[in-house]
Amino acid sequence: MGRTGLAPEDPERLGGYRLAARLGAGGQGVVYEACDEAGVRVAVKVLHGDVVADPVLRARFAGEAAAAQRVVSRCTARLIAAEKDGPEPYIVSEYVDGPSLREAVRADGVLSGDRLVGLAAAVATALAAIHEAGVVHRDLKPDDVLLGPDGPRVVDFGIARTRRTSSAFPARVVGSPPYTAPEVLTAARIGPAADVFAWGAVVLFAATGRSPFEAGSVGAILHRVLTGEPSTDALPEPLRSLAAAALDKDPGARPSSRDLLLGLPGWSGGGRGGASPGLAGIVLPEDFRVF
C-alpha cells in the first residue's frame, strides 16, 4: 500500500488507536496504519461525506458494519470494530502487510499461470465468505486486493451493503466505474452478482494490466460497462469461460462466487505454503477450501 506520513490535519489518535501513517485516501475517506493499545498494527478507515452528515446513513452503516464483522476471515482482512458515534465514523480492520494488486502489477507486470489462477481463486474465496455472511462488497477493484505474506486478501468491505439494504446507499458513496456492474449504474437492487462482475474485471486486470472497460472519460467507461463486450482471450481456460460468464450484462446469468470456485478444479495449490517466484503473495492460505 502507498504508505506516507500523516498530514497536518490528521488526528494522532482515534479512540484506542494511535495513527502512524496514511495508507491511502479516496472518495469514501482516509485509510491509516495504526496500532491498538497492545501495539498490534491495524488499518483504520475514517469515513466522510454522506455517512457523516446523515444520521440515517450512520445508523445503517453501523448495522452493516456489524454484519461485515461476521464474515469469516478466509482470504479477507477481518473487520475488528466500527465506531459510529464520533464526529467521523470509522472502521478498524486487520492490517495486511503487502502491496495492492494494482501496485504489484504496476511494479512487476501482469500475472499468468498458477499465479493468475491462485489470485482468481483467492478473490473468489473471499467473495464466497462475504456472500455467505449476507454481505455484498459492491466496490471490488484491484486496489482492494492486497498481496499479503500469507496470500491475497480482499479488503474494504466494512462499508459494504447487506443484501437487505444493498440499494439504499447513494451510488456516489461507493463504486469504481471500470469495475462496476451495469445494474449498479441503472439503480437496480444490488446483490452478490455485482461482486461476481467485478471479479471478472479484476481477473482481467491481473492478466492484462488494464480494466476491460478502460476508456478516456468516465462517461465513456460507463458506456462500455453498459454496452461493451470485453475480450477474455488473455485468460487461460477455465478462467476464460468463467470471466466471460461473470461479465454477463444480466446479473441473473452470472455464476455465483461459489460457482467460480467450483469452476476451478484444476487449481492444485501452486505455491501453497511457500513463496511463488516474482510475487510471493500469490498463494492460497493453508485453510483454503471450496465453500
Give the catalytic positions in this structure: 139
Look up cell 458515534; give the residue. Answer: 85
Q: What is the Cα–Cα distance from 213 to 174, expressed in whole angstroms?
A: 18
3-state SS assignment for residue 5:
coil
Residue 29's contacts (CB-CB under 8 Å, 6 or more residues apart) are 45, 46, 47, 48, 49, 88, 90
DSSP letter string, 233-291: TTSPTTHHHHHHHHT-SSGGGSPPHHHHHHT-TT---TTTTSPPSS-TT-S--TT----
The three cell numbers locating residue 205: 486486470
Nearest to 68 by CA among 186, 166, 213: 166
Fill in the amino acid letter for 173: V
Direct distance between the N- and C-terminal alpha carbons of the chain, in angstroms, rounded to an integer: 29
Backbone angles phi, psi at 179, to 5 degrees: -125, 15
Q: What is the Cα–Cα distance from 186 to 170, expressed in whole angstroms?
A: 12
Number of residues in the chain: 291
